[in-house]
Structure 1
Amino acid sequence: MSDDSVLWLLGDQLNPDLDALSDADAVLLIEAHGFADRKPYHAHKLTLVFSAMRHFRDRLRDRGHDVTYLRAESFGDGLDRFFGEEFAGAPGDADLRLMRPASHGAGDRFRELVAERGGSLELLDNELFWTTPADWHEWAGEPDGEAAGLIVGEDGSADRRYRQENWYRHVRRETGVLMDGDEPVGGEWNYDDLNRETPPDDWEPPERPRFDPDDLTRETHAWVRERFDTWGSDSLDGFAWPVTRGEARAALDAFVRDRLPSFGRYEDAMVEGEPFLSHSLLSPAINLGLLNPREPVRAVEVAYEDRGVEPGAYDPEEDGGIDPNATPLDDFGSGRASVAGAAPVPLNAAEGFVRQVLGWREFTRHVYREAMPALAAANRLEQSADLPPAYWDGDTDMRCLSEAVGHVREHGYAHHVERLMVLSNVALLYGTDPAELNEWFHLGFVDAYHWVTTPNVVAMGSFGTDVLSSKPYAASGSYVNRMSDYCASCPYAVSRTTGEGACPLNALYWDFLAENEETLRGTGRMGLMYSHLDDKSDSELAAIRERASTVRKLAADGEL
């Protein structure tokens, strides 16, 4: 056996500062294309992934690493070439090491592929998550290193249930993030009640950071357009995602400096014509590995230490703006992008972002590990409808849906409230098969991977299982009206439930509750909604069911 140690890195492990790289004699990267032949992915997603991989290859070579970069239809084909042709030693003489992939079963499948070719594969802890499976098992009260034995039954019910808030508080204590000894900074764990405002008409969000595509990205994009059948915009004009670690760190500094101050207050808002608002836009870089999740969390924590104010104390509507002549400090990418004239960071903004990354991202990754493979097929409410055509073409008079789908078609992105309370909510009330909705998210979003979408879409958005939420996130038009300005320009009347021209969400919502009463009435926090349903007369319910039926037919026919 050769003494060479080869580190195999995947396309979502693109961090040049990994500890695993320090003692690797060589690096293997396989750019596998077959997955993109099978389904119509968003052109920006494919461009982002393949361009980031190719830039990463060049960065490693510039730093002196011996990199084998193979383009192949599948990982198996790539390994055939590696062991048969590309590897400097004799075939089968490579000891490969790989950070355990996030997708279910991928590590074991890759180990089998390597073994079939005479090699060996050691699976390492994945450095691009903050917490480990052992951390999770300890928190859950299980023996260190052992699986939870979580079972999701055929009816979608889980034999164990996890709640993010409990995990979030635990991991804050363990990491010390935004902590004052044993207590949270500010005395509260959660400032959600301060993060539900909608901005006034004259407020303009900070400019989105842009990274002009270089020659390699342009070459990659042209190849993607020629090579694959894609979905969504295939114009490079709207592509502005970071494809290198340097760009990702610049995006982090831009968020901390310019967008974080107003992020919290307007975190849940939806505004017509504004896909990004003050959101960080860092999830693609984090999920590719260009940023380690510790970096944005610590950067936000440092920003709060430098510029922090009490929760809700900063009003972005009264802000004088950022000094255009100011520049970040030399400590680039550290979060110390405190510049002259930079706005203060309220605690509700810092905590809200930390909860997204340190809390929710880590939580859903572990729930995915524990609940797969049953999680992917969970369908507690037995939903079976095909996704309406509007999700593919954006052609609908429903302003909330056309806006959200339009954002995905144009940018491969929509922020978290649009994902949950519009895109998932409409599909849930309509009766869409959770697996089909999950695939749509996976194809369309630049930051989507199976481990990301499955718990968020199947479990949370579709309530396919109760493993991580006690109730479905279902809402009528009143929620959209409260959190957005969409309803003001929508031809459907949000104030009406039945009859032609009534908001489709209203009838779908009450029909959804009636249809799933046996499963949902006793579910946590649903009692109030069912008390309202009980107040409706038989004639009113009949009109609701008739309107809901009409809405579903219009949606199925692409005429909603």
Structure 2
Amino acid sequence: MSKSLRLVLGDQLSLTLPTLQDAPPGATVALCEVDEEGRYVPHHPQKIAMMLAAMRHFAAELRQRGYRVHYSTLDDPDNRHSLIAEAERLAKRQGCDEIHVTRPGEWRLLKAMEARQAQDRTPRWRIVEDTRFFCSHRDFDAWMEGRKRPRMEDFYRMLRRRTGLLMDGNAPVGGQWNFDRDNRAPIDDAPSPPSPPRHRQDAVTREVLALVEKRFADHVGRLEGFNWPVTRRQALADLRHFVARALPAFGTYQDAISDTAPYLFHSRLSAALNIGLLSPGEVCEAAQDAWQGGEAPLNAVEGFIRQILGWREYVRGIYWHRMPAYKRENQLGATRGLPRCYWDGDTDLRCLQRAIEMTHDNAYAHHIQRLMVTGNFALLCDVRPAALCDWYLAVYADACEWVELPNTLGMVLHADGGYLGSKPYCASGKYIDRMSDHCAQCRYDPRQSVGENACPFNALYWRFLERHADQLADNPRMRVIYGTLDKMSAHKRQALRQQADTFLDSLTWTPPYGQGQHASDYGE
């Protein structure tokens, strides 16, 4: 009779995990801290600390529920520091001839496990589907049948109908599927945002923080101020706080950017969702309940649910549907490495500086900072997709590759030629001035395009449009702006090109693949 080891990965910290749901009483469970997973890109210390502390707390919960838990710590002298090797070591030590694992969220790990599964050896690997999402891989592939240019909005409406979220029979509540036009207010009139709740750090969390400070001190990012949820109880506290205090204003101001408030009215729940402390279903239902109870307006609730039911599920589907070739996409031919300021924050551009500083301080920046500041700047500077993908994967606590890669490569950099997003999200300094309060404190003037005080975003924007006119000018969503470019005098266009090139020459660049080599994993 076979005996199985149930392997739980660091982003699978949920009692509803399939490999736990079908486990017999007293089953043997393993969780492994391995150095390899902390260093394949230089992860932010807060990200590593959140993962390790959450894993250790989850292991303790499993023991309380009667599981036999074997936990490998980073400082265990017998630790192989490779997830595959360490799991097999534990299985052999416990006399297990099988390793059962829920399908990992990253192509790299799945391929490594499948390679072991294909070998005639003991322990044998058994991989089961992850059922903790709204849409399975099989269902997504079926939905993709015959679609050359899929769109998230169609997928989102399909899942709204399937789940019944914000539905009145077959029609969307409020008579609209999407309230995005109501969710673009600038920062000027926003009320004071609430501060997130502070989480108590018990002995387990304090021990992890000390360990991370010692082992990962060379990684970019501050460990001080760590305040991520590391237990389900803490994650639920964050969910309740968001629904009660931030959700009512989230929709209206979700595109706003603040010079001083890193979170504004955003939920900060994505990290807890991505490691399993919260389920997407319960988060969406909590938001829907707030609308039904009159505690939050429909535009806020629909906008929030669209992020989870729509984008989160959609990019996961795209990731698995298009990998591994998707990771090599670079259809705009970008060749530069990452500007050094992404690692050290040394830039005179106030919006970029503050987004990077907030990222270093909190392992967090909200989606508009990522899309329209750090992402937009990288797009306009011709940063190679692999370099920016490595950086996003490294510095954000919620960055798992399945969600980070499509968002960065497809949405931010348009490197897939419009497969994920219908247009590149490029913008000049005028957009940042309209949506934020950065520009008043910046040495650059968003109203100027050339000259010593001109905002670099402006000349870079026109350079980008001119450089990629052959690929983008016929895009229906960009015809108006290309009409403006066509009317621009040759003298002005030359001045803008020179302004942009001079600025680009002033930057210091890191190597093309960023500081980590993870981006080349599937490039051979």
* Alignment match, 1:150: none
* Alignment match, 2:444: 492
Amino acid at match of 2:137: P
* Alignment match, 1:314: none
Equivalent residues of 1:476, 1:505 under 8 A apart: yes
For residues 94 and 108 of structure 1, what CA distance do their matches in structure 2 show? 20
Gaps spanning 5+ residues in structure 2: where? 74-78, 511-524
Deviations 1:252-286 (A, max 9, x none): 11111111111111111001111000100000000
Deviation at 1:409, TM superposition (A): 0.6
Deviations 1:327-386 (A, max 9, x none): xxxxxxxxxxxxxxxxx3000000000000000000000001111111111111110111
Select between 389-398 and 104-113 the one with higher mean Cα deviation. Answer: 104-113
For residues 512 and 111 of structure 1, what CA distance do their matches in structure 2 show? 42
* Alignment match, 2:521: none
Deviations 1:474-494 (A, max 9, x none): 111111111111112211010
* Alignment match, 2:478: 526
Percent identity over the alignment?
A: 41
* Alignment match, 1:511: 463
Amino acid at match of 1:101: P
For residues 202 and 187 of structure 1, what CA distance do their matches in structure 2 show? 27
Equivalent residues of 1:387, 1:427 under 8 A apart: yes
* Alignment match, 1:31: 33
1:119 matched to 2:119? The reply is: no
Q: Which of 235, 243, 267 lines up with 2:223 in the alignment?
A: 235
For residues 348 and 30 of structure 1, what CA distance do their matches in structure 2 show? 42
Q: Which of 275, 293, 299 lines up with 1:306 in the alignment?
A: 293
Amino acid at match of 1:346: P
For residues 6 and 129 of structure 2, what CA distance do their matches in structure 1 show? 13
1:420 matched to 2:371? The reply is: yes
Select between 535-544 and 34-43 the one with higher mean Cα deviation. Answer: 34-43
Equivalent residues of 1:232, 1:412 under 8 A apart: no
| Alignment of structure 1 residues 120-519 onto 2, 5 Å | 120-141=124-145, 160-200=148-188, 203-236=191-224, 238-307=225-294, 344-465=295-416, 466-519=418-471
For residues 467 and 383 of structure 2, what CA distance do their matches in structure 1 show? 14
Superposition RMSD in Å: 1.8
Amino acid at match of 1:103: E
SS of 1:122's partner is strand
Deviation at 1:140, TM superposition (A): 2.5
Amino acid at match of 1:82: L
For residues 422 and 207 of structure 2, what CA distance do their matches in structure 1 show? 47
Amino acid at match of 1:440: W
SS of 1:345's partner is coil
For residues 470 and 529 of structure 1, what CA distance do their matches in structure 2 show? 15
For residues 432 and 240 of structure 1, what CA distance do their matches in structure 2 show? 32
For residues 36 and 19 of structure 1, what CA distance do their matches in structure 2 show? 25
For residues 223 and 42 of structure 2, what CA distance do their matches in structure 1 show? 16
1:505/1:393 CA distance change after superposition, 3 Å: same
Select between 196-205 and 288-297 the one with higher mean Cα deviation. Answer: 196-205
Deviation at 1:418, TM superposition (A): 0.4
* Alignment match, 2:10: 11
* Alignment match, 2:498: 546
Q: Which of 100, 104, 118 lines up with 1:101 in the alignment?
A: 104
Equivalent residues of 1:225, 1:234 under 8 A apart: no
1:134/1:77 CA distance change after superposition, 3 Å: closer
Select between 250-259 and 73-82 the one with higher mean Cα deviation. Answer: 73-82
Deviation at 1:557, TM superposition (A): 7.2
Equivalent residues of 2:412, 2:424 under 8 A apart: yes
* Alignment match, 1:49: 51
* Alignment match, 2:113: 110
TM normalised by structure 2 equals 0.92
Amino acid at match of 2:389: N
Deviation at 1:224, TM superposition (A): 1.2
* Alignment match, 2:85: 77
Amino acid at match of 1:182: N
For residues 6 and 156 of structure 2, what CA distance do their matches in structure 1 show? 33
For residues 373 and 524 of structure 1, what CA distance do their matches in structure 2 show? 30
1:44/1:112 CA distance change after superposition, 3 Å: same
For residues 257 and 57 of structure 2, what CA distance do their matches in structure 1 show? 34
Equivalent residues of 1:375, 1:459 under 8 A apart: no
1:202/1:184 CA distance change after superposition, 3 Å: closer
Amino acid at match of 1:424: G
Equivalent residues of 1:41, 1:443 under 8 A apart: yes
Amino acid at match of 1:487: C
For residues 37 and 415 of structure 1, what CA distance do their matches in structure 2 show? 24
Select between 122-131 and 349-358 the one with higher mean Cα deviation. Answer: 122-131
Equivalent residues of 1:41, 1:230 under 8 A apart: no
Count how many residue pairs are aligned between Structure 1 and Structure 2. 499
Equivalent residues of 1:459, 1:469 under 8 A apart: yes
Select between 197-206 and 541-550 the one with higher mean Cα deviation. Answer: 197-206
* Alignment match, 1:330: none
Deviation at 1:200, TM superposition (A): 3.7
For residues 23 and 388 of structure 1, what CA distance do their matches in structure 2 show? 48
Deviations 1:461-508 (A, max 9, x none): 111112211221111111111111111221101001111110000000
For residues 231 and 524 of structure 1, what CA distance do their matches in structure 2 show? 43
For residues 109 and 248 of structure 2, what CA distance do their matches in structure 1 show? 39
For residues 395 and 213 of structure 2, what CA distance do their matches in structure 1 show? 15
TM normalised by structure 1 equals 0.86
SS of 1:525's partner is helix
Equivalent residues of 1:271, 1:486 under 8 A apart: yes
SS of 1:471's partner is coil
Equivalent residues of 1:40, 1:229 under 8 A apart: no
* Alignment match, 2:516: none
Equivalent residues of 1:139, 1:170 under 8 A apart: no
Equivalent residues of 1:10, 1:30 under 8 A apart: yes
Amino acid at match of 2:62: L
* Alignment match, 1:319: none
Deviation at 1:19, TM superposition (A): 4.9
* Alignment match, 2:517: none
For residues 250 and 120 of structure 2, what CA distance do their matches in structure 1 show? 50
For residues 261 and 239 of structure 1, what CA distance do their matches in structure 2 show? 26
* Alignment match, 1:152: none
Equivalent residues of 1:232, 1:408 under 8 A apart: no
